[in-house]
Amino acid sequence: MSYPRTKLTNWVKAKDLFNVVCFCVPAQHYSYLGRDKSKTLKNSKQLLRYSQHRQKPNPFVTKVKQVEDPDEALSLFYEYHRMGFRHDHPSYSALIYKLARSRSFEAVEQILSRIEENDVRCRESLFIALIQHYGKVHLVDKAVQLFQKMTSFNCPRSLQSFNTILNVLVENDKLLDAGWLEKGEWETAYQLFDEMLEKKVQPTVVTYNSLMGFLCMKGDIERAMGLLEDMTHKGKYPNASKYALLMEGLCLLGNYEEAKKLMFDMEYRGCKPATINFGVLMSDLGKRGETDKAKELLKEMKRRKCKPDVVSYNILVNYLCKEGKLAEAYKLLVEMQIEGQKPNAAMYRMMLDSFCKVEDFGGGLKVINAMLASKHFPMADTYCRLVEGLLRDGNIDDACFVGEEMEKRKIRFELESWEVLVRHACAADGSAMELLTELSL
């Protein structure tokens, strides 16, 4: 496979980073090429038994395993060093595992620096375990930095370490925005991916999912669908979120029906449609003003035993409000509460703003009552608009109620709002004026 001179640097970087591009054939398979696997395994086992017989116990490893406190483990490490003990891979691994499990990552960085300075050769398993620990506490940048620095520790990256960093990025939703590949390297990586497919090296599900996500973000739905067909043909299946990316891409191209067909084909491909998939279709229908069809899709979810979540209802409520169908939106709000779903602050605020926008302050009052009962609160300017509207409509008692709720929460009107409120309060009875006086204090 030839590449133009201008792309050579990127190709080398990507090839170095990917090794053989995260493929699920175990790394040992490459070492058996051209040799008798059974003999190699037999010789390896004999060598392992021999080395285990001759290997002396590491006193530091034995001791550090008995220590619970990470600071004590670190002190023990330096104490052995002062006594002239030469720390090697088992010592460093045991200490780093202990420190990482206790989340003492500053100490981990300190020990890694010593490994690099002293040119201690450590196994890939150490770095894989540490990358996983970083991922568990969402230190994705640290995981990526360690992955990129592995070669500086004289430790080549293999399929296992590449798959590990991919998993960390995917689990933390950082795959496409982590910046862990330099600009232009994703395309080169995809070329390498194609090349390895030709050589019959099998990618993992994580690799397929990652590249499908990348292609969908780039708008190359045709190639993404090609990957889907290839991986399902090989007995591997994407997850619901990757199907959602494909569906979203199809919808952006105006192919709603294809996206819908893909969702209903998911089960035949080994993946049950989830709320995220229905959400993509509902959003597309809402954008096109087809909220009635979106409501039917919500019913379809329930028929298929896919319980709508808050996001599902948020999508539909949002577009109903935009179309001015506030009565339907409020009915949906009540329905979701009956079904055990709790509206979030965003949904309440969206509905309250919509009622105030069309000057249906009675409807807004119903929303704010439900909102306060759920311990959610509107923004200060929404409070002001509602009080102003209720005063203008002559609903003095309701305006006073909303004003009192503001006062309880120490919410104050902006200066420009006071003129409007005072004008309406003066036209009302004394109780409204008294309330405004309290709010101004």
Query: Is residue 300 scored above 50 in pLDDT?
Result: yes
CB within 8 Å of 149: residues ≥ 6 apart: none
Cα 393 from Cα 390, distance rounded (Å): 5
Measured CA distances, 375 to 331, 344, 398, 401, 409 (Å): 20, 10, 19, 16, 12
Looking at residue 29, its pLDDT comes to 33
Residues 334 and 440 in one domain: no
The DSSP secondary structure of 14-60, one letter per residue, reads HHHHHTTTSBSS-THHHHTTTS-HHHHHHHHHHHHHHHHHHPPP-HH
Q: Mark whether 64 and 101 lie in a shared domain.
A: yes
Largest CA distance in the chain: 99
Instruction: Identify the weakest region by mean pLDDT among 94-98, 159-163, 380-384, 420-424.
Output: 420-424
Domain-ending residue, one of 343, 373, 407: 343
User: Is the pLDDT reported for residue 184 higher than 90?
Assistant: no
339 and 255 share a domain?
Answer: yes
- Give percent of the chain above pLDDT 90: 24
Distances (CA, A) of 268 to 262, 274, 299, 304, 306: 10, 14, 22, 15, 16
pLDDT at 422: 61
CA angle 271/18/160 to nearest 5° reads 65
pLDDT recorded at residue 155: 85
Q: Do the Cβ atoms of 165 and 147 come closer than 8 Å?
A: yes
- Per-residue model confidence as pLDDT tens digits over 82-92: 888 888 878 88
Identify the residue with better confidence: 148 or 214. 148
Residue 406 lies in a domain: yes
3-state secondary structure of 440: helix
Alpha carbons 128 and 137: distance in angstroms, whole number: 15
- Residue 400: CB atoms within 10 Å: 20
Please indicate, yes or no, if residue 366 is contained in any of the structural domains: yes
Residue 49 within any structural domain of the chain: yes
Q: Which amino acid is at 362?
A: G
CA–CA dist 348, 354 (Å, integer):
10
pLDDT, residue 409, reads 76
Looking at the structure, tell me whether residues 389 and 422 fall in a common domain.
Answer: yes
Q: What pLDDT is attached to residue 190?
A: 61
Asked if the structure places residue 215 within a domain, the reply is: no
323 Cβ contact list (under 8 Å, min separation 6): 289, 291
Give the Cα separation of 201 and 204 in Å (integer). Answer: 10
Q: Which residue has the higher pLDDT, 8 or 342?
A: 342
pLDDT, one tens digit per residue, over 384-434 is: 888 888 888 888 888 888 878 887 877 766 545 555 566 655 555 545 455
- 147 and 80 in one domain? yes
365 occurs within a structural domain: yes
pLDDT at residue 51 is higher than 70:
no
Considering the domain architecture, whether residues 269 and 287 belong to the same structural domain is answered as yes
- Residue 376 and residue 324 in one domain: no
Structure tokens at 301: 């979810």
Q: In angstroms, how far is CA 178 from the centroid of its own chain? A: 11
CB 162 within 8 A of CB 18: yes
Q: What is the DSSP letter of 428?
A: S
Q: How many whole angstroms from its chain centre is CA 210?
A: 13
**Do the Cβ atoms of 410 and 377 come closer than 8 Å?**
no
Host H or E run for residue 141:
helix 140-149
The number of folded domains in the chain is 3
Rounded mean pLDDT of 28-35?
A: 33
Token look-up 């969402």 returns 138
pLDDT range class, residue 197, cuts 50, 70, 90: low
What is the average pLDDT value for the chain, to the nearest integer?
Answer: 76
Residues forming beta bridges with residue 203, ordered by sequence position: 23
Could you tell me the residue range of the domain that residue 437 belongs to? 346-441
Q: What secondary structure does DSSP assign to 165-185, as a single string?
A: HHHHHHHTT-TTTS--S-TTH
Query: CA 110 to CA 198: how far, in whole Å?
Result: 44
Residue 152 inside a domain? The answer is: yes
Return the higher-pLDDT residue of 301 and 220.
Answer: 301
- CA-nearest of 379, 388, 321, 343 to 361 is 388
259 and 316 share a domain? yes
pLDDT in tens, 7-26: 333 333 344 434 333 433 33
Residue 75's pLDDT band (boundaries 50, 70, 90)?
confident
For the segment 311-317, the average pLDDT, to the nearest whole number, is: 94
Residue 205 clears pLDDT 60, i.e. is over it: yes
Task: Say whether both 325 and 355 belong to one domain.
Answer: no
Give the best-scoring range by mean pLDDT among 112-116, 129-133, 374-378, 399-403.
129-133
Whether 335 is in a domain gets the answer yes
Q: How confident is the model at residue 1 (pLDDT cuts 50, 70, 90)?
A: very low
User: Which of 112, 130, 157 delimits the end of a domain?
Assistant: 157
pLDDT tens digits, residue range 269-282?
778 999 999 999 99
- Find out whether 101 and 137 touch, Cβ atoms under 8 Å: no
Q: Which residue has the higher pLDDT, 7 or 163?
A: 163
Indicate if the pLDDT at residue 374 is higher than 60: yes
Establish if 33 belongs to a structural domain. Answer: no
Pair (248, 313) in one structural domain: yes
- Give the per-residue pLDDT at 228: 85
In this structure, what CATH number is given to the domain that contains residue 384? 1.25.40
- Structural domain ending residue among the three candidates 285, 314, 343: 343
Do 339 and 351 fall into the same domain? no
pLDDT at 20: 32
Is the same domain home to 354 and 277?
no
- Give the distance, in angstroms, between the CA of residue 377 and the centroid of all CA atoms in the same chain: 28
One-letter amino acid for residue 150 of the chain: M
